[in-house]
Amino acid sequence: MLQYLLNASAIWLMSLVLFYALLKKENYHSYNRFYLLFTFLFGCILPAWQLTGNGYNNSISTAQLLYAAGNGWFKWVIIIYISGASIALLLLIIDIIK
């Protein structure tokens, strides 16, 4: 699950950087809307899709590697990620209420 969240966040971050670099000043808002909606869906679907050469998944996930590397700091990474997501959700709720 952590690997999925990291991959989706990375895809969304790259697409947002591309948006600000290339499309932010465009006057065609329908293109911007299409790009943002497409990259949102792309970021949701692509991390769940796994490519394997022979049809068998023999790879070790990133979460397993992080967990094997050290249990102490792996818990802190999860705590930091969840606290960041909680703060973002709280700010979203406050803006919706306003």
Q: Which candidate, 80, 76, 3, places its Cα nearest to that of 46?
A: 3
pLDDT tens-digit series, residues 20-36: 888 777 777 778 888 88
Side chain identity at residue 13, one-letter code: L
> Which amino acid appears at position 88 of this protein?
A
Mean pLDDT value of segment 60-73: 59
- Locate all alpha helices (DSSP H) within 1-98, ordered by sequence: 2-18, 29-45, 62-69, 71-97
Q: What is the pTM of this model?
A: 0.46
Average pLDDT, the chain: 76
CA distances from 3 to 10, 19, 22, 25 (A): 11, 24, 28, 33
Is the distance from CB of 43 to CB of 11 less than 8 angstroms?
yes
pLDDT confidence band for 90 (50 / 70 / 90): very high
Average of per-residue pLDDT across 57-76: 60
Q: How many residues does the chain have?
A: 98
